[in-house]
């Protein structure tokens, strides 16, 4: 996805972002390993989180430009063309680019369904390194949450789903309720 021979391309590898530092640190490792593996083609590689953590897309874009990039390619670490890919990442990238006239950017396709992803899933299956739990056992990842407490969505989503009525509503305190008028 090189823009041209004259453009210096910066890469932003973007994930959702997490409240868990360990999860966010994984993206730093991905960006570092990507930069090392593809150093002949990609000298400027920066991690970015769409939300919840820094560096965000704005900071990563600024760092790419400070390192000499005139063209920035955002590589989303998302599986499908959902709302984050169709709206959030384009909006955030456009806002970041506005501070740097003369630069260009692209947003690559999400990971999608690829044989390499299927191979990775099979590798995880073959590893068989996670505990097998019986119904009602406490999963060690959920020590603070009873195993039988139902979760319908991630805790950072601003929406609530009522499984009995099927109604989706905005969570109080999410910051979105003022934008619905």
User: Rounded to 5, what percent of the chain is helix, strand, coil?
Assistant: 35, 15, 50
| Matching CATH number, 9-107, of 3.40.50.1400, 3.40.30.10, 3.30.470.20, 3.30.2040.10 | 3.40.50.1400
Interval 98-145: pLDDT, tens: 999 999 999 999 999 999 999 999 999 999 888 777 777 777 777 676
Rounded to whole angstroms, how far apart are CA atoms 93 and 59?
Answer: 10
pLDDT of residue 180: 46
Q: Which residues of the chain have pLDDT under 50?
A: 1-4, 180-181
Q: Which of 34, 97, 29 is nearest to 60 (CA)?
A: 97
Active site residues: 16
pTM of the model: 0.75
76 contact partners, CB below 8 Å, separation of at least 6: 14, 15, 84, 85, 89, 107, 108, 109, 110, 111
Rounded to whole angstroms, how far apart are CA atoms 17 and 39?
Answer: 25
Q: Which of 91, 94, 90 is nearest to 107 (CA)?
A: 90
pLDDT of residue 2: 46
pLDDT of residue 59: 97
Rounded to whole angstroms, how far apart are CA atoms 2 and 8?
Answer: 9
**Angle at CA of residue 82, ends 42 and 1, nearest 5°:** 20
pLDDT of residue 147: 56
pLDDT of residue 133: 78
Q: Which of 20, 88, 22 is nearest to 58 (CA)?
A: 88
Could you tell me how far CA 101 lies from the centroid of its own chain?
Answer: 26
Q: Which residue has the tokens 């593809």?
A: 38
């Amino acid at each position: 996805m090189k823009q041209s021979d004259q453009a210096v391309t910066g890469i932003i590898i973007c994930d959702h972002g997490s409240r868990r530092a360990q999860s966010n640190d994984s993206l730093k490792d991905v960006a570092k390993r990507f930069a090392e593996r593809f150093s002949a083609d990609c000298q400027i590689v920066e991690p970015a989180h769409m939300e919840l953590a820094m560096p965000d897309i704005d900071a990563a874009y600024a760092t790419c430009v400070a390192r000499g990039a005139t063209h920035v390619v955002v590589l989303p670490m998302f599986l499908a063309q959902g709302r984050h890919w169709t709206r959030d990442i384009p909006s955030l990238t456009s806002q970041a680019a506005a501070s740097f006239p003369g630069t260009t950017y692209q947003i690559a396709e999400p990971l999608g369904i690829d044989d390499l992803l299927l191979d990775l899933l099979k590798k995880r299956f073959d590893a068989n390194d996670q505990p097998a739990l019986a119904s009602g056992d406490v999963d060690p990842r959920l020590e603070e949450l009873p195993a039988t407490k139902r979760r319908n969505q991630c805790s950072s989503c601003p929406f609530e789903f009522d499984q009995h009525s099927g109604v989706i509503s905005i969570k109080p305190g999410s910051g979105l309720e003022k934008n619905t008028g």
